[in-house]
C-alpha cells in the first residue's frame, strides 16, 4: 500500500527535469532510440533534450576535469581579489565614470568568459560557466548602482529598484528556465531587490505581517512550480521549502500562533513531498523545520519543562528518522547503480509503427 501511494504521488509530482534523466537511461539501455526519446520529452511538455548522444555501452567522459575546474575557481578568485586590492588605492580618484567603466569590464569579461567556457560541454564546464556569468551579473549590478547613484540621491529606493531591475532582466535572460542554478538564484535575488525598491519608491508601507505572508506565499508558489515547471527543479524545491520556513518564522513574531501553524504545515508538506519524490535532503530539511516550529510552540504555549523536553525529543526523533531515510536511499542508489541491468523486451519495442 505504501509503495502504491508513493507511485501515485511521484506520477503527480515528478519534477520536469527528471524526465530527461529517465529518458537518457532508456536510451543508454537501448530500450528507445534518441529520436524516440526526444518525442517522449516533447510529449511530456519538456523542451528539446539536452542529453548527449551516447552510444550504447559507452561511458561519457567529463570534458573539464574536476581538478581543472577547481583550479579555475581558485584562479578567478585570486584575480578578483588582486584586482580589488590594486584598484582600492585609486578607486576614489577614478570618479563615477571610472567606476562604471570598471563595472562594465567585469560584466563583459564575466559574460563572455561564461559563454566560452560553456561551449566546452560537460557538467564541470556548465558549473564554471554559470559562476562566470554570475560574476558578470554582479558587475552589471555594480555598474548600474554607480551610474544611478548620483541621480538617485534625492529619490529614496530608486537605486535599489534600478539595480534589482537590471539584475532581474539579465539573470532571467541567462537562466531562461534552463539547468543553471546560479542564474536561477540571481533571478530570485533580482526579484527581491526590484520589489523592495518599488515598494520604497511607491511608498508602500507594508506591515511585517504582510511582508511575511508575501514571502511565504511566494516560496510556496516556487515550490509548487518546481514540481512541474521550474528548472533546476532540485534547487527550486530547496529554495521554496527554506523560503516557506523563513516566511512562517517571520510571521510568528507579529502573529505567533498563525506563523507557527503555517510553519508546521510547511514542514509536514516538505516531508511528504520529499518522501513521495524520494528526495532525502528535502525530508531532512522538512524534519529540521518541524523540529524548530514544534519546539517553539510547545515552549511558548505549554509553560512546562516536561512539555518542552517532549517537543525537543520528538523533533530529534524525526530528524534522526529523516537522516536514516537519507542514508538508506543513498545506499540503495549506490547498490542499484553497481548492479548490471538485464533488459527483456520484445522486438516490437524497437520496431517503428
Contacts of 31 (CB under 8 A, 6+ apart): 343, 345, 349
Residue 352, H or E segment? none
Cell of 123: 557538467
End-to-end CA distance of the chain: 37
Please count the structural domains in the chain: 3
336 CB neighbour count, 10 Å cutoff: 9
pLDDT of residue 168 exceeding 50, the answer is yes
* 216 and 147 co-located in one domain: no
Residue at 4 is within a domain: no
**Final residue belonging to a domain, choices 152, 171, 205:** 205
The rounded radius of gyration (Å) of the Cα atoms in the chain is 24
303 CB neighbour count, 10 Å cutoff: 9
Enter the DSSP assignment of 119.
Answer: T
* 147 and 272 co-located in one domain: no
pLDDT of residue 50 exceeding 50, the answer is no
pLDDT of residue 334 exceeding 90, the answer is no
* Mean pLDDT value across residues 226-242: 89
Angle (nearest 5°) at CA 187 between 290 and 104? 140
Enter the DSSP assignment of 340.
Answer: P
| CA neighbor of 297 nearest in space, from 272, 281, 284, 314 | 314
Whole-number pLDDT of residue 181: 93
Measured distance CA(110)–CA(104) in Å, rounded: 10
* Mean pLDDT value across residues 330-340: 54
Residue at 124 is within a domain: yes
pLDDT of residue 331 exceeding 90, the answer is no
* 199 and 223 co-located in one domain: no
Residue at 1 is within a domain: no
Average pLDDT, rounded, for the chain:
78
Of 150-154, 210-214, 222-226, the range with the lowest mean pLDDT is 150-154
Cell of 103: 563595472
State percent of the chain over pLDDT 90. Answer: 30
* 86 and 160 co-located in one domain: yes
**Final residue belonging to a domain, choices 205, 223, 240:** 205
**Final residue belonging to a domain, choices 148, 178, 205:** 205
Q: How much is the pTM?
A: 0.74
pLDDT tier at 173, thresholds 50, 70, 90 = very high
* 115 and 134 co-located in one domain: yes
Report which of residues 91 and 344 the model is more confident about.
91
Residue at 62 is within a domain: no
Q: Which residue range(s) make up the domain with 129?
A: 67-205
| CA neighbor of 292 nearest in space, from 280, 284, 303 | 284
pLDDT tier at 122, thresholds 50, 70, 90 = confident
Model pLDDT for residues 61-118, shown as the tens digit of each residue: 556 788 888 898 999 999 989 988 888 888 888 888 888 999 999 999 999 999 999 8
Amino acid at each position: 500500500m505504501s509503495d502504491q501511494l508513493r507511485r501515485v504521488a511521484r506520477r503527480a509530482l515528478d519534477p520536469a527535469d527528471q524526465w530527461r534523466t529517465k529518458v537518457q537511461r532508456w536510451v543508454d539501455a537501448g530500450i528507445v532510440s534518441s529520436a524516440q526519446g526526444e518525442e517522449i520529452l516533447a510529449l511530456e511538455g519538456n523542451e528539446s533534450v539536452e542529453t548527449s548522444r551516447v552510444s550504447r555501452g559507452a561511458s561519457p567522459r567529463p570534458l573539464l576535469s574536476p581538478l581543472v575546474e577547481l583550479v579555475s575557481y581558485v584562479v578567478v578568485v585570486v584575480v578578483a581579489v588582486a584586482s580589488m586590492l590594486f584598484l582600492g588605492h585609486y578607486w576614489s580618484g577614478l570618479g563615477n565614470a571610472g567606476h562604471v567603466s570598471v563595472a562594465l569590464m567585469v560584466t563583459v569579461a564575466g559574460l563572455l568568459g561564461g559563454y566560452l567556457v560553456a561551449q566546452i560541454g560537460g557538467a564541470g564546464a556548465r558549473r564554471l560557466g554559470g559562476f562566470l556569468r554570475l560574476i558578470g551579473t554582479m558587475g552589471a549590478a555594480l555598474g548600474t548602482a554607480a551610474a544611478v547613484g548620483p541621480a538617485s540621491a534625492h529619490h529614496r529606493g530608486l537605486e535599489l529598484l534600478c539595480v534589482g531591475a537590471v539584475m532581474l532582466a539579465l539573470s532571467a535572460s541567462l537562466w531562461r528556465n534552463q539547468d543553471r542554478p546560479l542564474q536561477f538564484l540571481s533571478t530570485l535575488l533580482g526579484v527581491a531587490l526590484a520589489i523592495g525598491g518599488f515598494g520604497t519608491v511607491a511608498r508602500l508601507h507594508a506591515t511585517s505581517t504582510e511582508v511575511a505572508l508575501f514571502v511565504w506565499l511566494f516560496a510556496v508558489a516556487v515550490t509548487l512550480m518546481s514540481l512541474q515547471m521550474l528548472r533546476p527543479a532540485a534547487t527550486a524545491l530547496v529554495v521554496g521549502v527554506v523560503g516557506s520556513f523563513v516566511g512562517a518564522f517571520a510571521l510568528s513574531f507579529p502573529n505567533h500562533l498563525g506563523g507557527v501553524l503555517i510553519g508546521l504545515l510547511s514542514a509536514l508538506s516538505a516531508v511528504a513531498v520529499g518522501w513521495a519524490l524520494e528526495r532525502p535532503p528535502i525530508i531532512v530539511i522538512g524534519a529540521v523545520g518541524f523540529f524548530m516550529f514544534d519546539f517553539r510552540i510547545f515552549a511558548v504555549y505549554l509553560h512546562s519543562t516536561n512539555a518542552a523536553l517532549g517537543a525537543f525529543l520528538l523533533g530529534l526523533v524525526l530528524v534522526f528518522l529523516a537522516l536514516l531515510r537519507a542514508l538508506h536511499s543513498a545506499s540503495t542508489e549506490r547498490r542499484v547503480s553497481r548492479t548490471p541491468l538485464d533488459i527483456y523486451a520484445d522486438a516490437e519495442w524497437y520496431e517503428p509503427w
